[in-house]
Amino acid sequence: MLKFKWSPGRHLLLILTLLLANASYAQQDKGFIWEVQGGTNTLYLLGSLHFANTDFYPVRQEIQQAFQRSDNLVVEIDVDRLAPEQVQRLITSKGTYPYGESIKNHIRETTYQGILQYLQSRNLPTAAFDNYKPAMLMMALTSLELERMGLSSDFGLDLYFTRQARGKKRIHELETLEDQLDMLLNIKDGDQLLMQTLNEFKDYQSLTDSLLQAWETGDPALLKRLIIDQPLKDFPESAAVFDKLITRRNYQMTSKIIGYLKTGGSYFVVAGAGHMIGEEGIIAQLEQAGYRVKQL
Query: Residue 27: is its pLDDT beyond 90?
Result: no
pLDDT value of position 227: 81
Give me the residue spans of the domains in the chain. 13-295
Who wins on pLDDT, 57 or 276?
276
Statement: residue 252 has pLDDT above 50: yes
What pLDDT digit, counting tens, does each position of 157-178 carry?
Answer: 888 999 999 999 999 999 988 8
Residue 268's nearest CA partner among 81, 69, 57, 77 is 69
Expressed in angstroms, the distance from the first to the final Cα of the chain is 45
Span 146-160, pLDDT tens digits: 788 777 778 888 889
Q: Identify the pLDDT of residue 290.
A: 93
Query: Is the pLDDT higher at 34 or at 183?
Result: 34
Residue 5, pLDDT above cutoff 70: no
CA-atom Rg of the chain in angstroms: 19
Q: Is 9 left (phi over 0), alpha (psi -120 to 50) or beta?
A: left
**Per-residue pLDDT at 69 exceeds 50:** yes
Cα–Cα dist 266/282, whole Å: 18
